[in-house]
């Protein structure tokens, strides 16, 4: 039996196994709760079509969308006062409606099975906004070890793993750690968010970082304070470039 034939048989077996599982345990859409057909994993086509993608015009640095017609490079109020540590950031969708519910389930509701669906959406965002030749490796925003132990997983790590596989890039699992716990960013202003995460991250295994062009992954970006601090630490450790990609952009 040739290797090609063996791979084809394994693939066909996986498809058949998945079909049998769907008969016994039908997959339910995480957006609307309706059964999902074979064309998707855990988000149905109707919910995918209802998502609001980030489209131009947006800030040329952080990708923050802006209403109206702008025909030139636009820099938003969050990026104007100071230079960002990351080189560029882009997000796939607005954080509202179906996407907000999907991410909340993924992040807080232990819906870890969504990692493949969301990683696919991230991969499309990366391919539309970055040149893959400019990315040497993928990494992610870490959780503090106590928070990760309580939650049981780090959603950003799951996303980064799926994205690295899709892009065929190495995943750097332990090059950045959260060295102190931080308060929730949700109710904080932009200035308070920057202060909250300042000094919260540390670089480790510098040989993995030095000279590399990194793609930093997180689930949601709002002001960008967290990814900016991560990028600052990575660049201090020798990263040549840090680009950011998130599933959604909040406001």
Domain match, 91 and 211 both: yes
In this prediction, what percent of the chain has a pLDDT beyond 90? 71
Comparison of pLDDT for 39 and 237, the residue scoring more: 237
Domain match, 43 and 146 both: no
List phi, psi (to 5°) of 243.
-105, 150
Band of pLDDT at residue 33, cut at 50, 70 and 90? confident
Predicted confidence (pLDDT) per residue in 45-91, tens digit: 889 999 999 998 999 999 999 887 777 788 999 999 889 999 999 99
- Looking at the DSSP bridge assignments, the partners of residue 220 are 248
Domain match, 120 and 153 both: yes
Domain match, 64 and 180 both: yes
pLDDT for 173 = 93
Domain match, 60 and 40 both: no
* pLDDT of 19 higher than 80: no
Domain match, 34 and 100 both: no
Domain match, 125 and 241 both: yes
Band of pLDDT at residue 38, cut at 50, 70 and 90? low
The mean pLDDT value for 121-133 works out to 97
Domain match, 5 and 96 both: no
- Which residue carries 């769907």 as its tokens? 22
Domain match, 107 and 156 both: yes
pLDDT for 17 = 38
Domain match, 45 and 106 both: no
Domain match, 100 and 11 both: no
Q: How many domains does the chain have?
A: 2
Query: Which burial class, exposed, middle or buried, applies to 179 when counting CB atoms under 10 A from its CB (0-12, 13-18, 19+)?
Result: middle
The residue out of 9, 30, 50 marking a domain boundary is: 50
In this prediction, what percent of the chain has a pLDDT beyond 70? 88
Predicted confidence (pLDDT) per residue in 148-188, tens digit: 999 999 999 999 999 999 999 999 998 999 999 999 888 89
pLDDT for 14 = 36
Lowest-pLDDT choice from 38-47, 91-100, 142-151, 227-236:
38-47
Domain match, 155 and 81 both: yes
CB atoms within 10 A of CB 178: 21
The mean pLDDT value for 79-104 works out to 95
Structural domain boundaries, residue 145: 55-249
pLDDT for 96 = 93
The domain spanning residue 135 has which CATH number?
A: 3.40.50
Comparison of pLDDT for 13 and 122, the residue scoring more: 122
């Amino acid at each position: 039996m040739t290797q090609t034939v063996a791979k084809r048989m394994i693939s066909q077996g996986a498809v058949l196994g998945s079909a049998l599982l769907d008969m016994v345990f039908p997959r339910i859409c995480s957006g609307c709760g309706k059964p999902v057909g074979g064309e998707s994993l855990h988000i149905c086509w109707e919910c995918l079509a209802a998502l609001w993608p980030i489209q131009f015009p947006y800030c040329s640095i952080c990708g923050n969308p802006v209403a109206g017609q702008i025909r030139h490079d636009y820099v938003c109020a969050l990026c104007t006062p100071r230079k960002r540590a990351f080189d560029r950031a882009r997000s796939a969708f607005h954080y509202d409606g179906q996407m907000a519910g999907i991410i909340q389930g993924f992040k807080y509701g232990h819906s870890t099975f969504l990692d493949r669906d969301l990683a696919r959406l991230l991969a499309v965002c990366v391919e539309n906004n970055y040149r893959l030749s400019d990315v040497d490796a993928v990494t992610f925003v870490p959780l503090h070890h106590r928070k990760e132990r309580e939650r049981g997983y780090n959603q950003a790590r799951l996303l980064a793993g799926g994205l690295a596989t899709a892009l065929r890039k190495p995943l750097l699992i332990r090059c950045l750690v959260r060295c102190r716990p931080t308060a929730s960013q949700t109710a904080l202003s932009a200035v308070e968010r920057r202060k909250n995460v300042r000094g919260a991250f540390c670089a480790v295994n510098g040989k993995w970082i030095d000279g590399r062009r990194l793609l930093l992954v997180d689930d949601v970006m709002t002001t960008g304070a967290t990814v900016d601090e991560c990028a600052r630490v990575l660049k201090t450790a020798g990263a040549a470039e840090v680009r950011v990609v998130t599933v959604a952009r909040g406001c």
